[in-house]
Amino acid sequence: MRAARLIKMVLLLQSRPSMTAAELARELEVSERTVTRDAQALIEAGVPVYADRGRAGGYRLIGGYRTRLTGLARGEAEALFLSGVPGALREMGLEDAASAAHLKVSAALLPSVRDASRTAAQRFHLDAPGWFREPQTPELLPAIAEAVWADRVVRVRYRRTSRGQAEDVERDLEPYGLVLKAGVWYLAAAVRGAEGSPDDAFRVYRVDRFTAVEPGEERFGRAEGEDAFDLPAFWEERAAQFERALLRSEVVVRLTPSGVRQLPYTTDPVSAREALESAAEADAEGRVAVTLPVESEDVAYTQLMALGPEAEVVAPEALRERFALAARRMRGWYG
């Protein structure tokens, strides 16, 4: 533990002209007294740490000293490529590895560009969760992330809903990759012993629905070259399938020109695009009849209500009657 802290202290001093004891204590998460002791230990080990006295004093390296401890470990290198998503790193338990990688990269840079990480952070920040949502880190995410990095087979219990009933199922999974979508974590994994083609074995699981994760000793092999697993492509395909699978019903709607423009912003963009691409010609009043795929009549009611008088529901009759009732109630309020 102390050895790692001493290395981090050297890298910090190498990446900046000088640092006060308070700054070092904050970065190393120790007391200023510990910083003083660590500086003395480095001096005794032959590292030329110089302490400037006085109110503006601090610690610095002298004589152009450069450490050779800047080689990245594999975990640090992998974490570095995720450094634009600090929240995700923290939730997967990779924050320390990313911090060490940043320091090593900074220490290896020329002095003129060592502030690149700071200037980039001033200009770009990724906030993954959606609005009006309190993100929650799944308790078992770090264990799953560790298995993903190590290509280790895991035995899991997963809570699913079947015919309206919740049940736990057990699976042996080969965890290939993690996806963070709008603040929700998903695991792309191959099910061991699954029937059908190899592609049929790949499934997507919500991480917050795992109730148990038991990493095994066995590791699985990833294909290379053209047969290698492509996580972004896999996710894009499955996400499109999932979005379309949700749209189990259809409603027929007449839209004004304003309603046509607003439809993609009030309903699912995929269903809106599909509906507008197959729309009929406008009638004499300029209204366009479209057949809109929807998740359910309840969802359609909520979405289309946002269009107000710019949309008239034609079918199904039950949904049209709900809008007629709503219109009568509103007329009673507004006269």
| Per-residue H/E/C for 81-129 | CCCCCHHHHHHHCCHHHHHHHHHHHHHHCCHHHCCHHHHHHHHCCCCCC
pLDDT at 175 over 90: yes
Residue with tokens 């507004």: 334
CA atoms of 35 and 33, how far apart (whole Å): 5
Distance between CA 255 and CA 262 in Å, rounded? Answer: 10
Q: How far apart are CA 202 and CA 174, in angstroms?
A: 9
pLDDT band at 213 (very low <50, low <70, confident <90, very high): very high
Q: Residues 40-46: what's their mean pLDDT?
A: 81
Mean pLDDT, range 3-31, rounded to an integer:
83
Q: Is 283 helix (H, G, I), strand (E, B) or coil?
A: coil
For residue 67, what is the DSSP state? -
Cα–Cα distance list, 75 to 79, 195, 218, 229 (Å): 6, 34, 20, 20
Whether 249 shows a pLDDT value over 70: the answer reads yes
CA 272, 275, 281, 287 torsion-angle sign: negative
- Residues of the chain with pLDDT > 70, as a percent, come to 75
Query: Lowest-confidence range among 65-79, 146-160, 223-237?
Result: 65-79
Record the pTM: 0.55
User: Looking at residue 92, what is its pLDDT?
Assistant: 66
Q: Which amino acid is residue 26, in one-letter code?
A: R
DSSP code at position 70: -
What Rg value do the Cα atoms of the chain yield, rounded? Answer: 29
Share the mean pLDDT of the chain.
80
The four Cα atoms 243, 247, 251, 255 give a dihedral, to 10 degrees, of 0
pLDDT given for residue 81 in this prediction: 47
Q: What pLDDT does residue 69 have?
A: 55
Tokens coding 61: 């390296």
| Chain centroid offset of residue 132 CA | 17
Which residue from 36, 29, 31, 34 is spatially nearest to 53, judged by alpha carbons?
Answer: 36
Q: Which of 35-39, 88-92, 109-113, 323-327 has the highest mean pLDDT?
A: 323-327
More confident of the two residues 245 and 261? 261
Q: Is the predicted pLDDT of residue 190 greater than 70, yes or no? A: yes
What is the model's pLDDT at position 56?
A: 62
208 closest CA partner among 91, 95, 325: 91
pLDDT category at 319 given cuts 50, 70, 90 is: very high
Per-residue confidence (pLDDT) for residue 314, from 0 to 100: 92
Contacts of 227 (CB under 8 A, 6+ apart): none
